Each structure stands twice: as structure tokens, then as C-alpha cells.
Amino acid sequence: MTHPSEDELAQYAFDPESIAERQEIEAHLETCPRCSASLTFIRSVDTGFRDPDAWEIAERDASPTRDAIRDLAARLAAEDEEAEELLERLLENPARIALANLAARRKFVTAGVARRLLRAASEACEREPLEALTFADAAINVGEHLIGYPQTVIHNLRAHGWKERANALAALGQYDASLDSLDHAEREFSQAPGTPLGRAIVQHARAIVRYYRGEFDAAIELLSESAAIYASLGETDRYMRIRHVIANTMVAEGDVRGARAIYQELLAWGESENDLAWVARESNTLGRCAYELRDLSSAVQYFHQSIQSFRELGMAAEALRPEWGFALVVLGSGKPREALARLHDVREEFRRREMLSDEALVSLDMMDALHALGRDREVVALASETIESFTRAGMLTSALTAFAYLKEAAARGTATPKVIQHVRQFISRLQREPALLFCPPDKNL
């Protein structure tokens, strides 16, 4: 079904039995984070209205009613539509957002504008974190000037603005600043009546920062706290996402078998819920675990299931990851020529989609295949291609330094598999630590 309106979500929140399309809405909510977040927001407003100080729109002496909440939901929906038009051109050029000082222009000071900026920040975070930071800062600025809304609405918007700012800063490797923003988010959530998810959301984000820093024990402790809150509130999907991150952390620590047990639990849940997205994602992670444990037969089965599921969902870019995994299985099976052809196709798709870090990692896998074929001279050309690709895209200097070193090593005939692995580990870390500097491997490698 299409996205339900805010009014339909409000009606569902208050009286789900009265909704003729209840099953369709519930099925949609399971797969749509945007509508799920809106429903959580509406429910928090409902709870917030129970606080006598929460309602500030009009008729202060009147008791808040669900009709008033429905009116608010309709108002927010109208503001959302208006915000799309107001921000359409500005969102195309984030620099204009930074210079516009939206909060000084009354027509931009609405919850709808703040919500649209938050969505823009969330969508841009992985692709362009600097743009995400600009959008989040603008959302916070607008939120600070909002009047005429219940306090629960205002503080929720401000809290999510700080949370999105923290996410963008973490993506830029500014971890201390990210944690400071999360402190602001937590303070705003604490002032929003009826937002039990607030602390869990903040702790979840803090855990990601700790994970990026390599502080895995601290990350798992925070994730476990968030998971407990999500479970107590019946937020099953959020709970399962936490479990997925915990498993990722275990993989980073080298506990592949422990992580595999969690991924298997998540796959079983996805299958029981008939949720193809979970099936696709967890099949891929289980394929990676099987590959790391050299259970190549199981890896093939999992990767095949993941590819089919992603393709059925129409998620071609995501299907590249299990296809990449399958190519590694072929390489691990002693078929470097076939693996090289598969890796080449995957790399070209990553390049076409400007997924540079993944392109670089696949290039390193191709170098392993070339080395196995005795075609070491071609490693020089491949490293040159990667450097050119990075340069055109304005890739980080440290990534260029790493591949320049590898190119020189290949030219000298010293680009051993261990040297290639050293560069691979650096590029993998660089994805979560953008400020990391490249150091050549020990000469004994």
C-alpha cells in the first residue's frame, strides 16, 4: 500500500480496531521506518497531552482530547506538504541552507520544515555527511524558534535534530563532538513527556560511536541497554536491529561463531515474519560468516538466497554485496580466473554507483586473484586505476596514499598477499575512521 496519511496513522494509534485496512497498515509499518517513526511520534504526542502543561496551542483551560491530537496530526501533514515546496530548491544546494538562516524567516519556522530537514539529514548521512550536518544544524535552529506547538512536539524535534547532528559528526570521524550532540539530544528527550524511546535511541547512537572507535565492550553494553528498552516497549524491529549491530561488533572482535548464532536467530525471525528484507540482509551476513569459517558450501547457499531476495525486492545495489561474497567463495575454492571475472563485474557496478570504499576493497580482492594467477604486473595497473578513480571523486588523501604505496610495492615485486591485506584492513578502518593516517606495513611482511 502507499504511505498512510498522518490522520490515518493517528486514527490507528488511538483506535486500531476502527481501521478497515488495519492489516495492510500494520504490514506497511513493519517495512517502512518513516511511517513507523511517525506512529511513534503521534503516540508520544498522545502521552504528552496527558501532561497538563503540554498543550500550548489554544484553549488552555480545555482538556486535551484525541480530536485535538488528530487536528494536530492534520496540521503537521499540511505543514509537511508545504515544507516540500518551500525547501525543494534549497535542498538541492545545501550551501544555500547554511546561508539562508531559515529561522529568521517566519514561513520556514514550522514543524513541517524541521521534519523535512531531519529527513534530508538522515538520507544524506552515509552519502554526504557534511550535507547531513548542514541539514541537521538547520533543523535544530528552526526547532529552537518553534512556538504554538505542544512541548512534546518541540522537544522531540529538537532531540532528533541533535541526534541527526551526532550521526553526521560520527560519519565525519568527529566522535567527541558527536557524543556532545547526543548529550543535547538526551536533555531534549528528557523534557518531552511520553517519549520512553528517547533514551534507547540516544544509547543506540552512542553505541555506534563507540563501535567506530573500536571500543567494542562499551558499544555492546550500550546496545544491550537499548535492546532491553526496545524489548520492554514491544519495538521488535528496533530490537532486532540492535541484535544485528551486536553481532557486527562481535565479528569485529573476531568472534565469528558467536555472531553467526545471532545472525541465525535474526534470519529465523525474518523468515517467520515473511520479511524479505531481513532474510536478504541476514543471509548475506551468514554467508560472510560461513566464508570466514571456510564453510564454503554453506556460504554459497546463503549468498544465493541473499541475492535472490534482494533482487526480488528490487534492491540491485544491495545485491552486489552477496555477489561480492560469492566471488570470494569462488576465489577461496581455488578458481582465481573465474573469481577475477566476477570481482571485475562487481567492482564496475560499485564504481558506477560511486561507492568508492567498496570499489577499493573489491580492487584489493582482484589483486589477490591476480597474484594467485601469477599476473603480479597487472596489480600496478589496477592500483593506478583505483588511484585515478579516487582522484576524480575527491577521495581522502590517506586512501590515495595507501594505494600509491601498494602501486610502488607492486612495481618492485613486493606486493605480497600480506601487504595487500594490510592495505585492505586500512581501507576497512578508514570507512569508520576518516581521519586515520596510512602507515606502511612492517618490513617483515
CA distance 251 to 287: 13
Q: Where are the alpha helices (DSSP H) in 213-275?
A: 216-232, 236-252, 256-272
pLDDT for 295 equals 96
pLDDT for 43 equals 60
Banded pLDDT at 10 (limits 50, 70, 90): low
Instruction: Identify the residue whose cell numbers are 528528557.
Output: 190
Q: Among 94-108, 147-161, 289-303, 414-428, which is the least confidently predicted range?
A: 94-108
Q: 439 is written with which cell numbers?
A: 602507515
How far is CA 70 from each of CA 38, 74, 83, 290, rounded to the nearest angstrom? 13, 6, 20, 50
Banded pLDDT at 15 (limits 50, 70, 90): low
Q: Is residue 344 exposed (0-12), middle (13-18) or buried (19+ Cβ within 10 Å)?
A: middle
Between 8 and 136, the higher pLDDT residue: 136
> Across residues 249-253, what is the average pLDDT?
89
pLDDT for 318 equals 86
| Contact in structure between 369 and 336 (CB atoms under 8 Å) | yes
| Contact in structure between 402 and 438 (CB atoms under 8 Å) | yes
> Across residues 38-66, what is the average pLDDT?
48
Q: What is the pLDDT of residues 127-160, one digit of tens each?
A: 788 889 999 999 999 999 998 888 888 999 999 9
Closest CA to 48 of 72, 82, 74: 72
Kindly provide the b/e burial profile for residues 290-316, where b requires at least 16 CB atoms within 10 angstroms of the residue's own CB.
bbbeebeebbbebbebbbbbbeeeeee
pLDDT for 40 equals 62
Q: What is the pLDDT of residues 198-242, one digit of tens each?
A: 889 999 999 999 988 888 889 999 999 999 988 888 888 889 999
Q: What is the pLDDT of residues 412-427, one digit of tens each?
A: 988 889 999 999 888 8
Banded pLDDT at 397 (limits 50, 70, 90): confident
Between 53 and 301, the higher pLDDT residue: 301
Task: Fill in the amino acid letter for 95.
Answer: A
pLDDT for 55 equals 36
Kindly provide the b/e burial profile for residues 78-116, where b requires at least 16 CB atoms within 10 angstroms of the residue's own CB.
ebbeebeebbeebbeebeebbeeebbeeeebbbbbbbbb
> Across residues 32-44, what is the average pLDDT?
62
Domains of the chain, residue spans = 1-195, 271-329, 334-445
Closest CA to 78 of 134, 5, 143: 5
> Across residues 250-279, what is the average pLDDT?
93
pLDDT for 12 equals 72
Residue 28 has pLDDT above 80, yes or no: no
| Contact in structure between 424 and 366 (CB atoms under 8 Å) | no
Helix (H, G, I), strand (E, B) or coil at 295: coil
> Across residues 289-301, what is the average pLDDT?
96
Residue 52 has pLDDT above 60, yes or no: no
Q: What is the pLDDT of residues 368-392, one digit of tens each?
A: 999 999 998 899 999 998 888 888 7
Q: Is residue 167 exposed (0-12), middle (13-18) or buried (19+ Cβ within 10 Å)?
A: buried
Task: Fill in the amino acid letter for 170.
Answer: A
pLDDT for 310 equals 92
Q: What is the pLDDT of residues 110-125, one digit of tens each?
A: 989 999 999 999 888 8
Q: What is the pLDDT of residues 169-207, one digit of tens each?
A: 988 878 899 999 999 999 999 988 667 788 899 999 999
- Say what percent of the chain tops pLDDT 90: 44
| Contact in structure between 158 and 117 (CB atoms under 8 Å) | no
The overall average pLDDT reported for the chain is 84
Between 397 and 84, the higher pLDDT residue: 84
If one counts every other C-beta atom within 10 angstroms of the C-beta of residue 70, the result is: 17
If one counts every other C-beta atom within 10 angstroms of the C-beta of residue 31, the result is: 15
Q: 421 is written with which cell numbers?
A: 591485506
Between 77 and 299, the higher pLDDT residue: 299
